[in-house]
Structure 1
């Protein structure tokens, strides 16, 4: 039978775990608010850039056939038909303590590998699933695997430089064949894994431009206007288009990474909250057991004292 000393030790350990989970929850909540702010800012910048891109397309800076190809959803799910994927970027996390966050990503990655038969390259970002990814890479010898160990450094420093290298190495300049597998943020208690193409970043800007007031709305096209006013400063249409699309793609990629980080911090916060609740319940149970044993011990000692007094009398 467990003793009071063992119960005190166990109760102290559980109380320490409860304090630790509460501290981790507060840290995750703070990081979540910061990540949400960065994600909203990135999304707002992306919306502004895509709107400018649509204006350029509207005034013949991009041919209409290319515009029709771009009108696809940003976020896709596993039910969508994937067309000729070449490169898959898998976003995970650097740390654990976030429930089934990394497990869901691993499961979705295996499903993607079954569906994407034309993959040539896979990039896994995040320390937590690096070892697992290295083992899985042995099953796909025809696919080139790349492992980037820190998603925090990748989001803050290396993403734009890495994407520029992908542009240089890619045959398809609009990166339609490059897909990102990440955790889509729904709310604080719900996130699910989706994948989306880096080339699809303009679905929410199909408004009629004639109804909006803008500098670009004039009788002459933008190209004619600038050719008559600043002919030496206006770059070639195709060069301007490619540069602007690269900027939009880079901002779209950074926005997806920020959304993934928001989902990670949210999942960790909810996991720590659940762990804290479990620790509180266990601590309450141990406290009741401790009180019961202590009361039994006190009662036993009182009975022994009473029996000794009666024997003396």
Structure 2
């Protein structure tokens, strides 16, 4: 284990994932690890969360196609026509800096998104658990109230029987 990150703030911010991201990115770029796979809890709705594994790096064609979620905009692409132009384009900043920036941006947004999904799942599970606990407590209070009233009624009945028996024995 390289590091342990357990204390996350209540309200997550993109800056909160940077230390984790830096550690993972350095290990990946130094080829200490072969891939970046994240196990997280995916928030589906209030009552349903699923544990999933997503592989962030390395990129494969299948993974790139999978990045388009169900809600994302569908764009049909066509193969570009071949152009005989041999000119090179000048990129500012250079290709390496641009790709480094895009890689950092992709990892930051992906990690932050996964952290938010996990936080939403946790809060939802806690909310459902608290609701169930409250309902169970209300039911238990009602059961205990009925039991208390039955016991009290039995004690009153026994006292009345004792008084009635004592009165009858005194009258004889």
Question: Which category of TM-score, normalised to the shorter sequence, fits these structures?
Answer: 0.7 to 0.9
> Which of 235, 240, 256 lines up with 2:93 in the alignment?
235
Q: How does 1:85-234 map to 2 (within 5 A)?
A: 144-152=1-9, 155-156=12-13, 157-171=15-29, 177-199=35-57, 203-204=67-68, 207-208=75-76, 224=89, 227=90, 234=92
Q: Is the 8 A contact 1:189 1:270 kept in 2?
A: yes
Helix, strand or coil at the partner of 2:9:
helix
157-166 vs 255-264, greater mean Cα deviation:
157-166
Asked if 1:290 corresponds to 2:148, the answer is yes
- How far apart in 1 are the matches of 2:27 and 2:123? 33
- How far apart in 2 are the matches of 1:168 and 1:149? 20
Deviations 1:253-281 (A, max 9, x none): 10000000000011111111122222222
Q: Is the 8 A contact 1:184 1:194 kept in 2?
A: yes
Work out the number of aligned pairs and report it.
150
Q: Is the 8 A contact 1:176 1:198 kept in 2?
A: no
Note the C-alpha offset of 1:251.
0.7
- How far apart in 1 are the matches of 2:56 and 2:117? 14
**Runs of 4+ residues over 6 Å off in structure 1:** none
Helix, strand or coil at the partner of 1:152:
coil
- How far apart in 1 are the matches of 2:153 and 2:93? 87
Note the C-alpha offset of 1:145.
4.8
Unmatched segments (≥5 aa) in structure 1:
1-143, 211-222
156-165 vs 264-273, greater mean Cα deviation:
156-165
Q: What is the TM-score of this pair, normalised by structure 2?
A: 0.73
- How far apart in 2 are the matches of 1:300 and 1:242? 86
CA 272–155 in structure 1, closer or farther in 2 if over 3 Å, else same: same
**Equivalence for 1:264:** 122
Q: What is the TM-score of this pair, normalised by structure 1?
A: 0.43
Note the C-alpha offset of 1:170.
2.1
Structure scoring higher RCO (CA < 8 A, sep ≥ 6) equals: 1
- How far apart in 2 are the matches of 1:283 and 1:311? 42
264-273 vs 191-200, greater mean Cα deviation:
191-200
CA 198–154 in structure 1, closer or farther in 2 if over 3 Å, else same: farther
CA 160–209 in structure 1, closer or farther in 2 if over 3 Å, else same: farther
Deviations 1:77-102 (A, max 9, x none): xxxxxxxxxxxxxxxxxxxxxxxxxx
RMSD of equivalent CA atoms: 2.8
Note the C-alpha offset of 1:293.
0.5
CA 153–198 in structure 1, closer or farther in 2 if over 3 Å, else same: farther
Q: Which of structures 1 and 2 has the bigger CA Rg?
A: 2
